[in-house]
Structure 1
Amino acid sequence: MRLSKITTRTGDDGTTGLADGTRLPKHHPRIAAIGSVDELNSQIGLLLAEPIPDEIRAELLRIQHDLFDLGGMLAVPGAPFDGAKLARLDGAIARHNASLPPLKEFILPGGCRAAALCHVARSVARRAERDYLQLQQSETCTLAGLHYLNRLSDLLFVFCRQLNLAAGKQETLWQR
């Protein structure tokens, strides 16, 4: 049993503990990055509650595990993040984007409910990337984590389009 005691009261002073025992203020850039990655994982969990194509579902479940690994890496300063996860995302982007019509204009977030939820996850991924980059300004972090978050937001955008296509929903093009 790893988590037999959920309420510890150790955070009542405005700090939180890392996996190595270090305590940091809850506003620290490392904690912000961990929180954004956790929020992203939760948003993907919400998306998974929707009826979505099996192939996208399977990839999103793998991504949830990757994000848990990324959060764990952030909780242990200096820990590595497997770059093979990035290669898998690149492959998924290429595969899923290949069947989509080319974009001639920006699209607005929305469409079917699953695509709209995926757009929210995409925007949270962008924030997580910014928070990760902010942490990198003051501490050494593996570039693989930053690259992963960047690519993940790209894949989520492709998934938004795929989900709308699967649901027969038209994308709303931005009008100048």
Structure 2
Amino acid sequence: MGRYGRGDSGETDLFGGGRVLKSDLRVECYGEVDELSSVIGLCRALLGGKHFDVDQVLHGVQETLFRVAAELAAEDPAKLGLELIGEKDISALDEHVAKIEARLPQLRHFIYPGGSLPGSMLHVARAVARRVERKVVGLSTRESINPNILRYLNRLSTLLFALARYVNTLEGVSEDTWPGRGIH
């Protein structure tokens, strides 16, 4: 039998060896990273070839998320020779956020998620990224993981928020602000 069917008993392989239940928190975490990458793929599809700069940023994020998932799926990522999430990955997100925010008006009020279809989907991706971050925080209280993964996921949701605003601006859709108290 090929690789298919090995998980029929409710267990799965970790990267580099070992088997765990599919309900294991580590498996949940890298599964949620996969879901996030899939949602980002949908965002890219909704861009429909427009906004190449945004598509390139999102493609780079997907590449990094594959590395995040591989790290989370490995019992000993360094032993496997994986390229670990590091400062350069976090700095890349920070640089993207700074460039995008420089093109946007400063937020004075909270905004409702929405706008154009790709902008709205980027808000969904941001919310999924926050959920992934919460799951990985839970994992980090039980197992040793690379702390840069948490930093990366935290910054990623900031980037996705900025991209949602930016895409809505490019699409000519104004922000729908919450009439409550301002941000500052």
Query: Which band: TM-score by shorter chain?
Result: over 0.9
User: Residue by residue, what CA displacement relative to the aligned partner does 1:116-142 show, whole Å, maximum 9, x if unpaired?
Assistant: 110111001001101111110100001
Q: Distance in 2 between matches of 1:74 and 1:55?
A: 29
One of 46, 58, 61 as aligned partner of 2:59: 61
User: Aligned partner of 1:81: which letter?
Assistant: I
State the Cα distance separating 1:83 from its structure 2 match.
2.6
One of 149, 157, 160 as aligned partner of 2:161: 157
Residue of structure 2 equivalent to 1:39: 35
Q: Distance in 1 between matches of 2:38 and 2:3?
A: 19
TM-score, structure 1 as length reference = 0.93
Residue of structure 2 equivalent to 1:105: 109
Q: Distance in 2 between matches of 1:165 and 1:44?
A: 19
Paired positions, count: 172
Contact 1:37 1:67 in 2 (8 A): yes
Gaps of 5+ in 2: 78-83
Stretch moving more, 75-84 or 91-100: 75-84
Gaps of 5+ in 1: none
State the Cα distance separating 1:77 from its structure 2 match.
2.5
One of 3, 6, 18 as aligned partner of 1:22: 18
State the Cα distance separating 1:54 from its structure 2 match.
1.0
Extract structure 1 runs of 4+ deviating beyond 4 A: none
Residue 10 in structure 1 maps to residue 14 in structure 2: no
Residue of structure 1 equivalent to 2:81: none
Percent sequence identity over matched residues? 37
State the Cα distance separating 1:175 from its structure 2 match.
2.5
SS at 1:175 equivalent: strand
Q: What is the RMSD of the two structures over their aligned residues, measured on CA atoms? A: 1.4
State the Cα distance separating 1:6 from its structure 2 match.
5.0
TM-score, structure 2 as length reference = 0.89
State the Cα distance separating 1:106 from its structure 2 match.
0.6
